[in-house]
Amino acid sequence: MASNIPKKKPVNKMVFMGLVSLALYGALLLNQDIINNYIGKGGFNAFLPIVTAFIFSFVHGSFTGNFWTVLGVEAAKKKKKEVK
C-alpha cells in the first residue's frame, strides 16, 4: 500500500523558491523606472520582457506549485490514472 505512505512535503523547496520569487519582484519594483526605460525603447530590447517573463514563470511557477502541494491541495489520485 505505497499510496498510504505520507509523501514528504516540499517545504524547503517552497520556501527557497518563494524567497527567490520575492527577491525578483523586489528587484523589479524597486528598479521600475530603469527597467521601464529600457523596455519602453522596444526594438532589440524586446527580448527583455520575454526573458523576464520566462524567468518569473519558472521561479514563481515552481513556488506556487509547491505552495499548493504543501497545503495538501493535490490532483485526484483516481482521475490521474484514468486520464493516462
Q: How far is the CB of 27 from other proteins (least distance, A)?
A: 11
Rounded CA-CA distance 22/39 in Å is: 21
Nearer to other proteins, 20 or 48 (CB): 48
Rounded CA-CA distance 8/60 in Å is: 21
- Classified as helix, coil or strand, 68 is helix
Report if residue 40 touches other proteins, rule: CB under 8 A: yes
Integer CA distances (angstroms), 77 to 10, 28, 39, in order: 18, 39, 44
Length of the chain, please? Answer: 84
Nearer to other proteins, 12 or 25 (CB): 25
Binding residues for other proteins, rule CB under 8 A, total 38
Question: Which residues bind to other proteins, rule: CB under 8 A?
Answer: 25, 28-29, 32, 35-36, 39-43, 45-50, 52-54, 56-57, 60-61, 64-65, 67-68, 73-80, 83-84
